[in-house]
């Protein structure tokens, strides 16, 4: 990780994106990096759209706001429409295809994965889609050491849900590396047995 | 001191933790965005640590409760935002006059009136100085990071106790709501001194000879507390020489401890031609400009950041003005502290304001562009 990384997590209120940004920031702190986390507090944060950002750098972080996102996560169509115009080629864009249907621009590096659907079908819990998304992001970017990140996910999860959240995080890695078809097929086989 | 472990912490949380570690055990307040997290934290921390948290009916009563608890011997804190800060002004003046220590946090938001509750602004700089009436002294800190929010709160509590003087922390919404990596040293064991053990036999609550420690009610001394001008025993007076002496006394406290109160920091070129003078979250953009202009491009640029904005760091600004051609004063308001900078630059340097008041931070690019225009 060379330069300042600016990560934008966007979606609908209730998808757990603010918590995800705090977990990502805590993981980066545990990985000895400098971090600033901010979130939108406006009327849009009360129902409707949710936006939070994390800046990670080895250097000290002065300006705390995102100017050029290097990673963008879109968990619903409205946020995809809104934030896609703010990124430049080179930014890693991850969309949740459960809710986002494009249009996808060829000049941009967009990875579309069924994040929420996988959480629902394989873990039977839609609420951990946020940690699954973090797994996907970290698999794609290597922002934070994977083991440290896993530990932080456990520590920051609500009491009693640490393991489930870790499972979701690991599943995010697999979703990124193996693709959704493979995961769904494997899950179907285990349920048949 | 144990080695500090880095943690992720929010500015408002740091403020609450700083207060707790400085011995604050009483909080009275009325929640308001963007300061609410301070109240939330205190509501958790104080009962756990033998303290008292009260949510009052409004900000006027909160300020009154804080003053009452202080004179009862507790270290106190209250937090609010612009609309609530307006309501606190009357009782704040009373605390200044009666020399009752307390710390008031104002997490600023866009005003006037209820303004934009969730957007940052630095519009309360002059209100913090002159919000309550009369020729009063005041101490105001303006933190630029989560860690500064922590240690300036501790400094505020200690100074307020030492000088029997209310201290205001003007936090920016950006700093209050931001989470950042910080190293918080572990709190040492607090030594709570029983003041009454060290009080001279001829103790007077408002001694004409100068600063005397506050002896809380219930510690064997009986005195009168009033917002009227008073003699050294606290009883009202309208006698001109006594009135003049009493007001001089209030200001002399701050003059005497000026070096402990006025905190500033200079970074950048040793012989700058263009300097930025700023405070609060705007310091962060300015630091990023210095990084680029001086550390990278070796341009003669410097930054004087003000952790203390009142009393105004006149001496530091005067010295800087003698060195540079231009002083740029970025502020997230229509120009408040710039007037003060101009006053002490005394025509030695050209003073240029950079203002933004749309509820967004001044960006490093915006500042860099203006600095570039004035470089030789």
Confidence of residue B194 (pLDDT cuts 50, 70, 90): low
Q: Are B288 and A37 an interchain contact pair (Cβ–Cβ within 8 Å)? A: no
A32 lies within 8 A of chain B by CB: yes
> What value does the mean pLDDT take over residues B124-135?
97
Sign of CA dihedral B327, B330, B331, B333: positive
Confidence of residue B187 (pLDDT cuts 50, 70, 90): low
B109 lies within 8 A of chain A by CB: no
The pLDDT score that the predictor gives to residue B218 is 85
**What CA–CA distance (Å, rounded) separates B371 from B326?**
9
Q: Are A22 and B8 an interchain contact pair (Cβ–Cβ within 8 Å)? A: yes
Q: What single string gives the DSSP state of each residue in B157-217?
A: HHHHHHHT--EEEEEEHHHHH-EEEEE-PPPPPP----GGGS--TT--TT-TTS------T
B174 lies within 8 A of chain A by CB: yes
The pLDDT score that the predictor gives to residue B85 is 98
> What value does the mean pLDDT take over residues B249-266?
96
Using the predicted structure, report yes or no on whether residue A193 has a pLDDT greater than 80: no
Using the predicted structure, report yes or no on whether residue B195 has a pLDDT greater than 80: no
Question: Which one of B4, B10, B146, B180 makes the best mutation probe of the A interface by having the most chain A beta carbons within 10 Å?
Answer: B180
Mean residue pLDDT across chain A = 91
CA B297 to chain centre: 34
The pLDDT score that the predictor gives to residue B1 is 43
Residue among A137, A110, A136, A114 nearest A126 (CA)? A114
Confidence of residue B209 (pLDDT cuts 50, 70, 90): confident
A35 lies within 8 A of chain B by CB: yes
> What value does the mean pLDDT take over residues B102-122?
95
Report strand pairing: A49-57 vs A34-39: antiparallel
Long-range CB contacts for residues A153-162, cutoff 8 Å, separation at least 24: A153/A23, A153/A27, A155/A26, A156/A19, A156/A22, A156/A23, A156/A26, A157/A131, A161/A128
Using the predicted structure, report yes or no on whether residue B352 has a pLDDT greater than 90: yes
Residue among B297, B60, B255 nearest B163 (CA)? B255
Contacts of B7 in chain A (CB under 8 A): 29
Confidence of residue B234 (pLDDT cuts 50, 70, 90): very high
Sign of CA dihedral A172, A178, A180, A183: negative
Report strand pairing: A49-57 vs A5-12: antiparallel
- Element (DSSP H or E) covering residue B241: helix B240-256
- CA torsion angle A168 A173 A177 A182 (round to 10): -10
Q: Chain B residue with minimal CA distance to A52? A: B178
Shortest alpha-carbon distance between residue B5 and chain A (Å) = 9
- In total, the C-beta contacts within 8 angstroms joining chain A to chain B are 60
Mean residue pLDDT across chain B = 94
Residue among B175, B151, B179, B176 nearest B285 (CA)? B175
Structure token digits, residue A180? 């959704």
Using the predicted structure, report yes or no on whether residue B7 has a pLDDT greater than 90: yes
In chain A, the domains with their CATH numbers are 5-192 (3.40.920.10)
Using the predicted structure, report yes or no on whether residue B193 has a pLDDT greater than 80: no
The pLDDT score that the predictor gives to residue B241 is 95
**Sheet hosting strand B274-279, strand order edge to edge:** B264-268, B301-306, B274-279, B326-331, B350-355
> What value does the mean pLDDT take over residues A12-30?
94
The pLDDT score that the predictor gives to residue B226 is 96
DSSP 8-class letter at A76? S
Shortest alpha-carbon distance between residue B178 and chain A (Å) = 5
Using the predicted structure, report yes or no on whether residue B264 has a pLDDT greater than 90: yes
In chain B, the domains with their CATH numbers are 6-183 (3.40.50.970), 264-374 (3.40.50.920)
The pLDDT score that the predictor gives to residue A43 is 59
- Angle subtended at Cα B311 by Cα B309 and Cα B313, rounded to the nearest 5 degrees: 65
Q: Are A34 and B179 an interchain contact pair (Cβ–Cβ within 8 Å)? A: no
Structure token digits, residue B216? 């809380």
The pLDDT score that the predictor gives to residue A40 is 83
Q: Are A29 and B6 an interchain contact pair (Cβ–Cβ within 8 Å)? A: yes
B14 lies within 8 A of chain A by CB: no
Q: Which of A13-22, B125-134, B304-313, B324-333 has the lowest mean pLDDT?
A: A13-22
Q: Which of A49-63, B140-154, B188-202 has the lowest mean pLDDT?
A: B188-202
Using the predicted structure, report yes or no on whether residue B2 has a pLDDT greater than 60: no
The pLDDT score that the predictor gives to residue B189 is 58
Confidence of residue B175 (pLDDT cuts 50, 70, 90): very high
Contacts of A27 in chain B (CB under 8 A): none
**What CA–CA distance (Å, rounded) separates A71 from A86?**
11
């Amino acid at each position: 990780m060379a330069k300042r990384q600016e990560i934008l997590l966007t979606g609908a209120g209730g998808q757990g994106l603010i918590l995800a940004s705090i977990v990502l920031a805590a993981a980066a702190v545990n990985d000895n990096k400098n971090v600033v986390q901010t979130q939108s507090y406006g009327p849009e944060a009360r129902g409707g759209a949710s936006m939070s950002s994390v800046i990670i750098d080895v250097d000290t972080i002065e300006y705390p706001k995102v100017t050029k996102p290097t990673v963008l996560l879109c968990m619903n169509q409205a946020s995809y429409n809104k934030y896609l115009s703010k990124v430049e080629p080179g930014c890693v864009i991850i969309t949740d295809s459960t809710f986002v249907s494009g249009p996808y621009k060829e000049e941009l590096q967009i990875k579309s994965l069924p994040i929420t659907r996988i959480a629902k079908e394989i873990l039977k819990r839609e609420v951990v889609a946020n940690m699954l998304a973090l797994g996907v992001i970290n698999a794609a970017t290597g922002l934070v050491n994977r083991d440290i990140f896993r530990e932080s996910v456990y520590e920051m999860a609500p009491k009693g849900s640490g393991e489930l959240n870790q499972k979701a995080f690991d599943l995010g890695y697999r979703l990124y590396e193996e693709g959704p078809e493979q995961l769904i097929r494997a899950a179907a086989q285990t349920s048949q047995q | 001191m144990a080695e500090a472990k880095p943690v992720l912490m929010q500015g408002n949380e740091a403020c609450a933790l700083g207060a707790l570690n400085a011995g604050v055990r009483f909080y009275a307040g009325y929640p308001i965005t963007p300061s609410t997290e301070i109240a939330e934290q205190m509501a958790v921390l104080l009962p756990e640590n033998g303290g008292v948290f009260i949510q009052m009916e409004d900000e006027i009563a909160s300020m009154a409760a804080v003053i009452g608890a202080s004179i009862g011997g507790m270290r106190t804190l209250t937090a609010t935002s612009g609309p609530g800060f307006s309501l606190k002004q009357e009782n704040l003046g009373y605390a200044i006059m009666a020399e009752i220590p307390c710390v008031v946090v104002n997490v600023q938001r866009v005003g006037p009136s209820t303004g934009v509750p969730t957007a940052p602004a630095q519009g309360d700089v002059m209100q913090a100085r002159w919000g309550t009436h009369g020729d009063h002294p005041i101490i105001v800190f303006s933190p630029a990071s989560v860690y500064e929010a922590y240690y300036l709160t501790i400094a505020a509590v200690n100074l307020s106790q030492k000088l029997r003087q209310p201290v205001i922390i003007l936090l920016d919404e950006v700093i209050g709501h931001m989470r950042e990596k910080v190293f918080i040293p572990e709190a040492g064991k607090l030594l709570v001194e029983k003041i009454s053990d060290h009080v001279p036999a001829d103790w007077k609550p408002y001694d004409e000879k100068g600063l005397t420690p506050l002896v809380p009610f219930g510690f064997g001394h009986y005195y009168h507390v009033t917002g009227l001008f008073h003699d050294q025993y606290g009883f009202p007076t309208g006698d001109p020489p006594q009135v003049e002496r009493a007001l001089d006394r209030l200001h002399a406290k701050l003059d005497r401890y000026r070096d402990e109160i006025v905190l500033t920091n200079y970074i950048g070129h040793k012989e700058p031609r263009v300097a930025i003078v700023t405070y609060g979250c705007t310091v962060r953009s300015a630091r990023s400009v210095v990084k680029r202009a001086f550390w990278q491009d070796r341009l003669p640029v410097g930054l004087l950041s003000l952790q203390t904005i009142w009393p105004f760091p006149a001496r530091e600004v005067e010295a800087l003005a003698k060195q540079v051609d231009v002083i740029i004063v970025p502020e997230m308001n229509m120009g408040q502290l710039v007037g003060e900078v101009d006053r002490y630059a005394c025509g030695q340097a050209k003073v240029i304001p950079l203002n933004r008041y749309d509820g967004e931070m001044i960006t490093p690019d915006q500042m860099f562009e203006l600095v570039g225009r004035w470089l030789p």
